[in-house]
Chain A
Amino acid sequence: MMKRIKSISTRLAEADMVFWLMPLLIVLLIVGTVTQRWIGLYAAHHTYFSSFIIWLGPIPLPGGYTILGLLTLNLTAKFLFKSEWSAKKSGIILAHLGALILLIGGLVTSIMAEERYMVLPEGAQSPFIYHYTKRNLMVFQSNGEDDSQPTEIMRLPYSNIDNWNTDSLPFQFNLKFSCDNCNIIKREESSDYDENKTYAGMAQFMALENKPLEKEPEANLTGFEFTIFGADEGDGEHLAFDGMPKPIEIKSLGKTYTFIFGKDQSTLPFSIKLKDFVKDNYQGTAMARGYHSDVVIMDGDTHWETRIEMNKPLRYKGHTFFQSSFDQSEAGEVSIFSVVKNQGWLFPYIGTIVLALGLILHIIITFSRRRTQ
């Protein structure tokens, strides 16, 4: 058995594994890059690079995960079973180790990294960050009095909309229709408009219809229509969509149920206040030389000021904040940060150093050997 494992491992460690895998990766890279022009980065990423199998009609082809996984195996096997541990080969060994660290870093990142964003108007403070693509319906309950704090009683992910369980609500919630990317039209123009029905809230004026998906999923306007029945107040046809300006309120048995639909929200263990956002233009032009946000980190009783700017992110408690966008309007300036939590962020730094050292060493050894010869 051990012999068999060793023979497989030795085979896996051969240089020709790279020779056979590399053309597949090259083709995948070219196809996955060129198709981005038509299907966008997100779709290409998921179809070609973050997949195990790509189906070309009925024919299965290896996806990015499969090829990179095999290359990782090959490098690990070479490292363990094949590498000749000598000074002569030290450069090669280090270079391969660097590549292995980069691949493992890629694996850790793809499994564990989480990317969200934070929107902060000038002067505002918030601990909330939002997912770029995941959307949820959140239901809050309050006892109907003005000063009562609403409690979140339900968080239903849009990705599972067909299986939403709303049985615990004291009224009926019937999903009618959903659209991953919706077009908003006038209520009277909708195909199922029935003047005998009761339309409530925004559904009185507007209706949703399906439209083709955008290239980048965060640009989709996701929404759904539903019916509420059996409540004390709020029965009728409703609709909800991404970033809806007003939550839906239903009253039943003396309690108020608030429905909010939008990007998945999570809470940081600290909050950030935006003091000032600055877009610094080149003189006499509208072209930006740089952007920065002066913020205050508020963690318990500790407060301190810092700056987040292009190419200079803020790292704190496992989260990294990047100046990713902004909005300037009459209402004021809004800074938008990308917030990334990635346990594997150090791998590329270490991998690069090891890889560079290895290649430099190998080149020195090769050049000096040939000179000696």
Chain B
Amino acid sequence: MIRILLLMAIICCCVFTHAYAQNQAPEQFDYSAFEKIPVLDNGRVKPIGAFAKARLKDFYGKDYKATQWLAQTLFNPSEAIHAEVFTIKDDDLKSRLALDPSKDHFSIEDLQPGLKKTQSDIIVLLKETETNLTPQQQTLLKIHEDVISYNELLRSFSLILPLKDGETFINLLPKEQRITSDLKTIIAQKGQDVTTYTPAEQETAIMGFQLQQIRTGGIGNDDFKAIPVNLDEKLSWASPWQTINDGLGSPQANTLLSQWEDVANAHRKNDAQNWTAATHTLLENTLQNTSNEISKTRLNVELLYLNIKPYHVAMSLYALGIILLIITLSRPSIFITYGTLVSLFTACLFHVSGIAARIYILDRPPVGTLYESVLFVSLICAVIGLITYAKSRKPILALTSQIAALGLLSIAPTMLQNNDSLELLVAVLNTNFWLGTHVICITAGYGICIIGACLAHGYMLLRIKDPVHPLLDGAFQSIHKIGLVALLFTAVGTVLGGIWADQSWGRFWGWDPKENGALLIVLWLIWIQHGRLSGNIRPLGYVAGMAALNIVVALAWFGVNLLGVGLHSYGFTSGIAAGLAIFCIAETIIITALWIIIRIKQKQQGRTS
């Protein structure tokens, strides 16, 4: 027993140390203020740390030390071009882009020559629809897009970064016209050959060329919107270049730009002390310029959410809880029971905190996207499993529920449409009332169905192991009760969806795939309930029917999105078809096999008795 508890303690320590270590990696600079500076990205104001993570994940596939990477990219572009942040694993593509086949990560400098050669192909590929492209063509397109985006980031602050003699573009701006006209005069007098110029003329030519290059690079550079500007008493956001090119500048914006310059200089000079002071000043001033419309707490919560990774911690603890529950099945012990409860409770706490943080950050109910629905359904499974275990101490329902919770949480990232999991919603979904009623009701229904289905699997397995196991009768009653509650939630959720459709599209029911999917679950539940009532379905068949709910829910939840038709276009997904097919086939085989084995055993017992 002591050994088991020690093992538990070690696993817990590992989990927390991992989460802690990620946040406290020793760095020369203190990034705590810098990563909180708000920026507008994809329609939402977020901390720089979140922006950095999303971008680095786009390029590299991982977001480790993203803030440091972004600071380097923004303030030291000449060094950042050597950073190997682009991931290419396809060998054919590597050879096409003349890249080193032994490497998977490349810098923008490595990529530029190869990409230039494929430019003509890109024009053709851009005209094709995404579904007609091969995976390699898709990767090539993505690399081109990533490089454009990275280039834009590299030049975000080119107007305040020092040129020769510490001068910056923005300081030279008043002299720009004069330099350009001087250069024109020199060219008119001496032609294009620089060697014929005097040293002073060469200086002017270099300066003029640099200014022209910087200005060209700044055209359309609007990705990094870090300057709050007030337009018609409405808070808006501009990139540094937009303050000059689009006339969005103001005295406040100029002050902020000069503070950004201080931050850049501190970073370039490796001056940690000035960096800390400059980033703090910049953060405070940026927030002040938003007229306190942006909540500092919200920025902090978002960073904490992204850094702690609460679902990773929850997954580790669910796994620990599952191991302990399996041990309890064969060797019940009060210590293990308490260990399980602590582990599951802590897991649920992290899981709930994650979802609560999302509600706070996005200011809307917890479920609006497919990813969020998976997080929520997983939580429903975990919480119900935990509550029933805390009340009854019977491990079977808790075990099957936690397995479902862990499974769902592990597939959640595959549902993300992009690398920012905190997505905005399309207009029709932008209603807290319906997200808080229909969506919560139907997703809770999915969760309860999955709990019932997993418990039915557990029941069948237990019945094979021991046909007169004392837990069987209680498990059957639980399956029946869960079936009824699942029917309540899915039926009410489905008709509430109809009422929402009536409110937004003018018809209650339109036989749209998503609506039909929800109805399918309701019909399945009604069918097995009435089959059981009329005696057409025997208890074992009823349990198998409940177990098959997993398939029905998977089809209704994810399957219909793959059809790509109907009014619920915001839910369309791709790339999960193979996984879904494997799951449905595997489940069908498992349930059929379990049913056959139980029937064979039943017959054998009948003959023996």
CA distance A127 to B420 in the complex (A): 46
In the complex, what residue of chain B is closest to A367 when comparing beta carbons? B481
A16/B506 in contact, CB under 8 A:
no
Asked if A360 is at the interface of the complex by the 8 Å CB criterion, the answer is: yes
A115/B507 in contact, CB under 8 A:
yes
Partner-contacting stretch, out of B8-16, B204-212, B515-523: B515-523
Asked if B43 is at the interface of the complex by the 8 Å CB criterion, the answer is: yes
Looking at the assembled complex, report how far the CB atom of B521 sits from the nearest CB atom of chain A, in whole angstroms: 10
CA distance A22 to B42 in the complex (A): 46
Q: Which of the residues B495, B507, B537 comes within 8 Å of A340, measured between beta carbons?
A: B507
Asked if A123 is at the interface of the complex by the 8 Å CB criterion, the answer is: no
A290/B427 in contact, CB under 8 A:
yes
Hey, which chain A residues are within 8 Å of B430, CB to CB? 289-290, 310
B517/A23 in contact, CB under 8 A:
no
Give chain B interface residues in 169-219, CB to chain A under 8 Å.
Answer: none
Hey, which chain A residues are within 8 Å of B524, CB to CB? 26
Q: Interface readout for A98-126 with B: 1 if CB under 8 Å, 0 if not? A: 00001001100100010100000000000
Known contacts A290-B430, A359-B488; decide if A32 and B505 are in contact (CB<8 Å).
no
Hey, which chain A residues are within 8 Å of B534, CB to CB? 14-16, 18-19
Known contacts A285-B42, A287-B43; decide if A33 and B504 are in contact (CB<8 Å).
no
Hey, which chain B residues are within 8 Å of A284, CB to CB? 40-43, 222, 225, 237
Asked if A277 is at the interface of the complex by the 8 Å CB criterion, the answer is: no
Partner-contacting stretch, out of B84-92, B404-412, B561-569: B561-569
Known contacts A26-B520, A115-B506; decide if A36 and B563 are in contact (CB<8 Å).
yes
Interface contacts beyond A338-B505, A348-B495: sample of 15 additional A-B pairs, CB < 8 Å, sorted by A: A36-B565, A36-B566, A41-B512, A283-B236, A284-B40, A284-B237, A289-B424, A310-B504, A313-B506, A324-B506, A352-B495, A352-B499, A360-B488, A362-B484, A363-B488
Hey, which chain B residues are within 8 Å of A283, CB to CB? 40, 43, 236-237
CA distance A356 to B499 in the complex (A): 14
CA distance A298 to B490 in the complex (A): 43
B498/A348 in contact, CB under 8 A:
yes
Partner-contacting stretch, out of B111-119, B263-271, B525-533: B525-533
A359/B491 in contact, CB under 8 A:
yes
B520/A29 in contact, CB under 8 A:
yes
B427/A291 in contact, CB under 8 A:
yes
Hey, which chain B residues are within 8 Å of A25, CB to CB? 523
Please classify how large the interface on chain B is, using the bins under 10, 10 to 19, 20 to 34, 35 or more.
35 or more
In the complex, what residue of chain A is closest to B239 when comparing beta carbons? A284
Hey, which chain A residues are within 8 Å of B40, CB to CB? 283-284
Q: Which of the residues A18, A40, A41, A352 comes within 8 Å of B526, measured between beta carbons?
A: A18
CA distance A287 to B44 in the complex (A): 11
Q: Chain A interface secondary structure, helix, strand, loop or mixed?
A: helix
Give chain B interface residues in 35-72, CB to chain A under 8 Å.
Answer: 40-44
B511/A352 in contact, CB under 8 A:
no
B508/A105 in contact, CB under 8 A:
yes
In the complex, how many residue pairs between chain A and chain B have their CB atoms under 8 Å apart?
165
CA distance A313 to B537 in the complex (A): 45
Give chain B interface residues in 323-353, CB to chain A under 8 Å.
Answer: none
Q: Which of the residues B237, B481, B491, B511 comes within 8 Å of A41, measured between beta carbons?
A: B511
Q: Interface readout for B485-501 with A: 1 if CB under 8 Å, 0 if not? A: 10110011001101110
Asked if A282 is at the interface of the complex by the 8 Å CB criterion, the answer is: yes
Asked if A223 is at the interface of the complex by the 8 Å CB criterion, the answer is: no
Give chain B interface residues in 460-486, CB to chain A under 8 Å.
Answer: 477, 481, 484-485
Known contacts A16-B534, A356-B488; decide if A310 and B527 are in contact (CB<8 Å).
no
Hey, which chain A residues are within 8 Å of B29, CB to CB? none
Asked if A349 is at the interface of the complex by the 8 Å CB criterion, the answer is: yes
CA distance A291 to B427 in the complex (A): 7
Hey, which chain B residues are within 8 Å of A312, CB to CB? 503
Hey, which chain A residues are within 8 Å of B533, CB to CB? 15
Give chain A interface residues in 6-59, CB to chain B under 8 Å.
Answer: 14-16, 18-19, 22-23, 25-26, 29-30, 32-34, 36-37, 40-41, 44-45, 49
Residue contacts A-B, CB under 8 angstroms, 22 given: A16-B531, A19-B530, A22-B530, A26-B520, A29-B516, A37-B565, A45-B511, A102-B495, A282-B42, A282-B44, A283-B43, A284-B225, A285-B42, A290-B430, A310-B427, A310-B428, A312-B503, A320-B506, A322-B504, A352-B496, A352-B498, A356-B491
CA distance A16 to B528 in the complex (A): 11
CA distance A345 to B503 in the complex (A): 10
CA distance A45 to B485 in the complex (A): 31
Asked if A366 is at the interface of the complex by the 8 Å CB criterion, the answer is: yes
Q: Interface readout for A286-329 with B: 1 if CB under 8 Å, 0 if not? A: 01111100000000000000000011110000001010100000
Looking at the assembled complex, report how far the CB atom of B18 sits from the nearest CB atom of chain A, in whole angstroms: 35
Known contacts A18-B526, A283-B43, A310-B427; decide if A348 and B434 are in contact (CB<8 Å).
no
Hey, which chain B residues are within 8 Å of A363, CB to CB? 481, 484-485, 488
Nearest first, the 4 closest Cβ-Cβ pairs linking A and B are A282-B43, A16-B534, A22-B527, A340-B506
In the complex, what residue of chain B is closest to A344 when comparing beta carbons? B508
Asked if B431 is at the interface of the complex by the 8 Å CB criterion, the answer is: yes
CA distance A41 to B505 in the complex (A): 15
CA distance A36 to B499 in the complex (A): 23
In the complex, what residue of chain A is closest to B485 when comparing beta carbons? A363
Hey, which chain A residues are within 8 Å of B531, CB to CB? 16, 19
In the complex, what residue of chain A is closest to B531 when comparing beta carbons? A19
Hey, which chain A residues are within 8 Å of B41, CB to CB? 284
CA distance A362 to B484 in the complex (A): 9
Looking at the assembled complex, report how far the CB atom of A100 sits from the nearest CB atom of chain B, in whole angstroms: 13
B523/A288 in contact, CB under 8 A:
no
Asked if B360 is at the interface of the complex by the 8 Å CB criterion, the answer is: no
Asked if A262 is at the interface of the complex by the 8 Å CB criterion, the answer is: no
Asked if B440 is at the interface of the complex by the 8 Å CB criterion, the answer is: no
CA distance A41 to B565 in the complex (A): 8
A370/B477 in contact, CB under 8 A:
yes
Hey, which chain A residues are within 8 Å of B537, CB to CB? 19
Known contacts A284-B225, A345-B508; decide if A15 and B43 are in contact (CB<8 Å).
no
Hey, which chain A residues are within 8 Å of B500, CB to CB? 311
Hey, which chain B residues are within 8 Å of A18, CB to CB? 526-527, 530, 534
Asked if A260 is at the interface of the complex by the 8 Å CB criterion, the answer is: no
In the complex, what residue of chain A is closest to B504 when comparing beta carbons? A311
Asked if A355 is at the interface of the complex by the 8 Å CB criterion, the answer is: yes
Q: Which of the residues A19, A40, A356 comes within 8 Å of B536, measured between beta carbons?
A: A19
